């Protein structure tokens, strides 16, 4: 990896990438198909032509009028209700061909997209989506297919044919209707709003459509339905949530309206516009550049020393040669004394590479040398290059209310000798400069919606009878959260398992889930060309899964935070549950304290005795200390690779992408053409996934001291610093945010050796006026009391959920049946999938588990 980084970081180009909700329509449509599914395009066309010719003679679909097309779609809708499974599949393929744009009657890619859009709105208007949803529910409950897939040693595309066809049609409908264009007809705009409301409302068996897809994800990860096509499910789930809740621009508008509703001042700037106007910074010096720079510095030191000796002898008062140093790496060079001895230089290099906080640098004033003035700086760039940049820093500084309180508390203790609690108005006895400082802080004070929500929640908890019940708007976010709440931890565990299995740094394990069920063909490749094609398809498949999960989690966090601050915190708390079930995926080489080892051992013993993570005592004692020992390392493990190679990966075959593959003639594929890949500068989905994961990591650690220290313990600084080599402004911004929150804990030596990174943080990241991030003089020395911080947070979340969603708040006063016979005689409703997996569950959970007879007797 180090050699690859040396080679690839010689001069990384600026990436012309604009971060947004999704890529353009054509790539998003093509990613629903795997290259292994290519023969099915002709199959869909043949089934459509066969049925269409039997009803309409000597005419093509694009030649029919609106009423004739509606009549034919109605026939297809009636044919979907037949009991014959094979006939039903043929009709579904004919509908899929319509949704794909009747490509056999089109000449260009644009024609395919046009007719696909026309047909999709027609299909929705005729009620096809509701019929497909009923078929999807029926396929999910197909116990015979599930049991057959469980017993199979190898699962292929053939095991999920019906599901893949249904999910593909639904994805094409959601993605096409979601995208708004200028030339949309008025009836299409009305249909879009109706479809959006329909997907976000609990119209499907009392729950929103996204919840049905979440159930498919958990069923797949529990190994009860290993044949489910997870890539299609995740893509459809992501686009459904994006459609019903809104993207980043809609979030910004909702945030503005929310602040107006709470009578808060407007936002100081539009964050989306600020990020898009940023320019990428030059990456830090690579290992090869540091070595070259060190050698040049040694040669320059010797030449200056010889010049100094010559000047004493009278030859020349000036050195003859100055070392040449690359401008991009001057930050490291200029911060060092060029006359330090080699040992001191080697120690400094080691300190930079290891990112240790040891402060052992030597003061250059103590040395008996004459320091020559530095070489003149190179000429500045022409002013035309910076004409479009805004003057000053891009972000307005912010100050929290508690920051002003802390500043006044410190000042009063220093000048008066006592404090006044949370009083930020009384300034009696304080000197004039403190008055000016408080005035400046109040000018930049920022009150967030989350702070208002927490304050309101505290009032409702203190005065429940006086304030009455809270009026909760039935938004799509609120409806989805209410449906997810009972099984939230299972949903998050399933998503993290899929992300772990699809990560490029994960190694295949025998007990890991198989995410390649919908990409592997029935017959494995026998030629080198087929093997190369399948290898590219598998890598592309994993990249798309990472893209969908990262975007899905980020959207959920942002929407839930805007809906209520305690909802995303509850979602983040659910991340912790994965440790209780799978504590084997910690990062290799990460620090695990003896307390954590004992906790893990206790957890394994509890699971052997049959105790589940729902045990509150277990959760409070152990999970808070291990809370992000799997989530933060999981993301760091993802970035612990040659990130430039990942972003520039060419796991795509352009001629096989839809709709190109169905319109143009297929050229002959060769091994050389597959190795060459496309001619794009970067892979859009991989860069998109990296930015999403960085944003998730920022949300996990923001304003959390203990979680920030986890970044330090897991040595994230060198991993994140390598990610700065990607010259894309949005990605660099979120990397610099993560570096900023831990800079004060990395030591003065690290800050001195990474001055270019420090400068980039100052230029690009928002400032908090009294945040001593760059110097670390006032390091927060609180102990790592995870339980105090996390348990208090969890208690507040549980109170919020109980007050807002628990309809039986007086349940503790309800009568309890203490009769053993009546309790055992009650009939328990078991899920349908429990019957066909009962024997497996009995063998795994009862017969194969040792019984602790001593514990039972006690």
**pLDDT tens figures, 379-427:** 443 433 333 334 578 899 999 998 999 899 989 998 988 888 888 888 8
What pLDDT score does 686 carry? 95
Q: What are the pLDDT digits (tens) for 512-542?
A: 788 998 899 988 888 888 899 999 999 999 9
**What's the average model confidence in pLDDT over 18-42?**
93
Distance of CA 225 to the CA centre of its chain: 25
| 825 Cβ contact partners less than 8 Å away, ≥ 6 residues apart | none
660 pLDDT higher than 60: yes
- Number of helices (H) and strands (E) in the chain: give both, helices first: 43, 0
Tokens of 147: 């049991």
Q: In this predicted structure, what is the pLDDT of residue 673? A: 78
- Residue 204, beta-bridge partner list: 207
525 within 8 A of 446, measured Cβ to Cβ:
no
pLDDT number for residue 433:
92
pLDDT higher at 819 or 659:
659
What integer pLDDT is reported at residue 621 of this predicted model? Answer: 23
**CA dist list (Å): 301 to 148, 309, 404, 714:** 74, 12, 49, 37
* 102 pLDDT higher than 90: yes
Beta strands (DSSP E) in 31-183 are none
DSSP string computed for 182-198? TT--HHHHHHHHHHHHH
Alpha carbon distances (Å) from 430 to 284, 403, 409, 423 = 44, 17, 11, 14
Residues facing 125 on adjacent strands: none
Query: Which DSSP string do the residues of 513-541 spell out, in sequence order?
Result: ----TTTS-SS---SHHHHHHHHHHHHHH
| Cα–Cα dist 806/488, whole Å | 16
The predicted model gives 582-600 an average pLDDT of: 40
Q: Specify the pTM.
A: 0.78
Q: For residue 207, list its beta bridge partners.
A: 204
Lowest-confidence segment of 98-112, 446-460, 718-732 by average pLDDT: 446-460
Annotate 369-409 with DSSP letters as a single string.
-PPPPPPPPPPPPPGGGGTTSPSS-SS--BB-HHHHHHHHH
pLDDT of residue 380: 40
Please report, rounded to a whole number, the percentage of residues in the chain having pLDDT higher than 70: 75
CA dihedral 108, 190, 91, 523 (to 10 degrees): 60
Query: Phi and psi at residue 204, in whole multiples of 5°?
Result: -105, 95
Determine what percent of the chain is predicted with pLDDT higher than 90: 38
| pLDDT higher than 80, residue 586 | no
Burial of 38 (0-12, 13-18, 19+ CB in 10 A): middle
Provide the mean pLDDT of the chain: 78
CA 856 to chain centre: 45
Q: Does residue 220 register a pLDDT over 60?
A: yes
Name the CA radius of gyration of the chain, rounded: 31
Q: How far apart are CA 409 and CA 418, in angstroms?
A: 8
Lowest mean pLDDT among 307-316, 390-399, 683-692: 307-316
pLDDT of 843 over the 60 cut: yes
Coil, strand or helix at 93:
helix
User: In this predicted structure, which of 158-172, 233-247, 695-709 has the lowest mean pLDDT?
Assistant: 695-709
Q: How far is CA 642 from CA 174, 207, 323, 677, 723, in A?
A: 35, 43, 31, 19, 9
d(CA 663, CA 650): 23
- Split at pLDDT 50, 70, 90, the class of 546 is very high
Band (589; pLDDT cuts 50, 70, 90): very low
Range scoring the smallest mean pLDDT among 144-148, 529-533, 832-836: 832-836
- Residue 664 in contact with residue 742, Cβ under 8 Å? no
Query: Does 194 have pLDDT greater than 90?
Result: yes
Q: What is the pLDDT of residue 787?
A: 58
Cα end-to-end span (Å), the chain: 56
- The reported pLDDT for the residue numbered 318 is 41
What residue has token string 């929310």? 258
- Give the residue with greater pLDDT, 629 vs 431: 431
CB 82 within 8 A of CB 88: yes
Q: What is the pLDDT of residue 774?
A: 83
pLDDT tens for each residue of 773-819: 887 765 554 555 555 666 777 777 777 777 777 766 554 545 667 78
**CA-to-CA distance for 682 and 685, rounded, in angstroms?**
9
Q: Say yes or no to pLDDT of 327 above 80.
A: no
* Predicted local distance difference test score (pLDDT) of residue 435: 93
């Amino acid at each position: 990896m180090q050699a690859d980084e040396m080679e690839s970081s010689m001069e990384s180009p600026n990436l012309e990438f604009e971060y947004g909700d999704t890529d353009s329509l054509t790539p998003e449509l093509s990613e629903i198909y795997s290259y292994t599914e290519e023969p099915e395009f002709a199959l869909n066309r043949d089934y459509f032509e066969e049925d269409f010719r039997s009803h309409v003679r000597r005419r093509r679909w694009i030649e029919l009028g609106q009423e004739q097309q509606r009549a034919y779609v109605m026939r297809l809708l009636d044919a979907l209700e037949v009991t014959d499974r094979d006939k039903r599949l043929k009709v579904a393929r004919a509908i899929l061909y319509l949704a794909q744009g009747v490509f056999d009657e089109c000449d260009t890619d644009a024609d395919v997209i046009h007719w696909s859009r026309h047909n999709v709105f027609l299909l929705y208007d005729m009620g096809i989506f509701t019929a497909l949803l009923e078929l999807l529910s029926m396929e999910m409950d197909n116990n015979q297919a599930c049991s057959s897939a469980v017993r199979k040693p190898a699962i292929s595309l053939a095991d999920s044919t019906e599901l893949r066809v249904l999910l593909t049609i639904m994805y094409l409908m959601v993605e096409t209707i979601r995208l708004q264009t200028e030339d949309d007809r008025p009836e299409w705009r009305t249909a879009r709003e109706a479809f959006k409301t329909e997907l976000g409302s609990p119209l499907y068996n009392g729950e929103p459509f996204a919840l049905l897809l979440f159930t498919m994800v958990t069923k797949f990860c529990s190994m009860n339905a290993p044949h489910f096509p997870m890539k299609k499910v995740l893509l459809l789930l992501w686009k459904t949530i994006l459609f019903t809740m809104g993207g980043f621009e809609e979030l910004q508008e909702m945030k503005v309206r929310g602040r107006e509703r709470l009578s808060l001042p407007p936002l100081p700037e539009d964050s989306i516009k600020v990020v898009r106007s940023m320019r990428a910074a030059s990456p830090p010096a690579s290992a090869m550049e540091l070595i070259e720079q060190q050698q040049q510095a040694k040669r320059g030191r010797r030449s200056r020393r010889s010049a100094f000796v010559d000047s004493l002898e009278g030859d020349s008062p000036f050195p003859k040669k100055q070392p040449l140093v690359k401008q991009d790496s001057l930050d490291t060079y200029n911060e060092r004394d060029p006359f330090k001895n080699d040992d001191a230089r080697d120690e400094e290099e080691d300190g930079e590479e290891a990112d240790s906080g040891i402060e052992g640098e030597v003061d250059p004033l103590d040395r008996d040398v004459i320091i020559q003035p530095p070489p003149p700086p190179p000429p500045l760039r022409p002013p035309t290059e910076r004409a479009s940049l805004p003057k000053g820093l891009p972000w307005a500084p912010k100050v929290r209310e508690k920051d002003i309180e802390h500043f006044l508390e410190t000042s009063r203790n220093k000048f008066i000798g006592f404090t006044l609690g949370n009083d930020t108005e009384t300034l009696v006895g304080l000197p004039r400069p403190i008055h000016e400082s408080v005035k400046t802080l109040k000018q930049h004070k920022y009150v967030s919606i989350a702070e208002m929500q927490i304050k309101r929640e505290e009032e409702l908890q203190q005065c429940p009878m006086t304030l009455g019940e809270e009026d909760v708007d039935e938004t799509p976010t609120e409806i989805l959260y209410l449906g997810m709440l009972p099984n939230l931890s299972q949903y998050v565990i399933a998503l993290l398992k899929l992300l772990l299995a699809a990560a490029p740094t994960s190694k295949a394990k025998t007990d890991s889930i198989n995410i390649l069920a919908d990409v592997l063909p029935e017959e494995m490749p026998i030629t080198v060309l087929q093997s190369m094609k399948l290898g590219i398809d598998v890598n592309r498949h994993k990249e798309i899964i990472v893209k969908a999960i990262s975007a899905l989690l980020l959207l959920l966090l942002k929407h839930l935070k805007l809906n209520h601050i305690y909802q995303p915190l509850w979602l983040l708390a659910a991340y912790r549950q994965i440790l209780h079930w799978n504590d084997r995926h910690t990062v290799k080489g990460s620090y695990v304290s003896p307390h954590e080892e004992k906790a893990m051992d206790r957890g394994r013993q509890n699971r052997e005795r049959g105790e589940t993570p729902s045990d509150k005592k277990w959760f409070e004692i152990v999970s808070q200390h291990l809370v992000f020992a799997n989530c933060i390392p999981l993301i760091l493990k993802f970035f612990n690779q040659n990130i430039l190679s990942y972003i520039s990966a060419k796991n795509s075959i352009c001629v096989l992408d839809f709709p190109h593959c169905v319109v143009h003639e297929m050229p002959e594929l060769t091994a050389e053409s597959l190795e060459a890949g496309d001619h794009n500068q970067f892979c859009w989905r991989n860069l998109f996934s990296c930015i999403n994961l960085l944003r998730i990591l920022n949300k996990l650690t923001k304003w959390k001291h203990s979680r920030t220290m986890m970044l330090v313990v897991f040595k994230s600084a060198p991993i994140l610093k390598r990610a700065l080599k990607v010259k894309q402004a949005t990605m660099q911004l979120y990397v610099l945010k993560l570096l900023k929150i831990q800079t004060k804990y990395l030591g003065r030596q690290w800050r001195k050796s990474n001055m270019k990174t420090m400068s980039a943080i100052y230029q690009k990241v928002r400032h908090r006026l009294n945040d001593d991030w760059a110097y670390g003089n006032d390091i927060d020395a609180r102990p790592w009391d995870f339980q105090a911080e996390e348990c208090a947070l969890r208690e507040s979340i549980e109170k919020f959920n109980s007050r807002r969603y628990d309809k039986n708040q007086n349940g503790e006063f309800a009568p309890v049946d203490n009769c053993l016979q009546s309790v055992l005689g009650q009939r328990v409703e078991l899920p349908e999938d429990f019957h066909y997996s009962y024997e497996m569950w009995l063998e795994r959970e009862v017969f194969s588990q040792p019984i602790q007879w001593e514990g039972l007797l006690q």
